[in-house]
Amino acid sequence: MTFKEVLEFEYVTISEAKEIIEEIAKKRQEKADLLYETRRGLRHLRNFAKLPPEKAKELVEELEKLPQVGRKDLAVKIADIMPDIPDEIRTIFAKERFNITPEQIDEILEIVDKYR
């Protein structure tokens, strides 16, 4: 039995994951057909990626600079969802130990709107 260990961990957006999996799929297709799971995962990523990878990365970087976001995992989640309304932002922050103000929500939505 072989075990695989995590050598590196990084939060990536759906758009960035799509790009990574497409590269892997391209290499694997040269040798053999893609596994069912790989095809399904790639289909999911293609359906839900809302931005090009470069734009998604820029959005995450801009969101991380906001004091109310501050963490990459939250910024990535916002970039993946591309929220339209304040309730979607509140849902993302529901498990956080602080309350987000309407002004902070508006600031996040303004930044997200720049990338639509």
- For residues 28 and 34, the answer to whether their CB atoms sit within 8 Å is yes
Query: What radius of gyration do the chain's Cα atoms show?
Result: 17
Looking at residue 1, what is its pLDDT? 56
- For residues 56 and 16, the answer to whether their CB atoms sit within 8 Å is yes
116 vs 104: CA distance, rounded Å: 19
Q: Give the CATH fold of the 53-114 domain.
A: DNA polymerase; domain 1 (1.10.150)
Residue 113's nearest CA partner among 86, 82, 90, 92 is: 82
**Residue spans per domain, the chain:** 14-48, 53-114
Cβ-proximal residues to 97 (8 Å cutoff; 6+ apart), any chain: none
pLDDT in tens, the chain (116 residues): 567 788 888 999 999 999 999 998 998 888 888 888 989 999 999 999 999 999 999 999 999 999 999 999 999 999 999 999 999 999 999 999 988 999 999 999 999 999 99
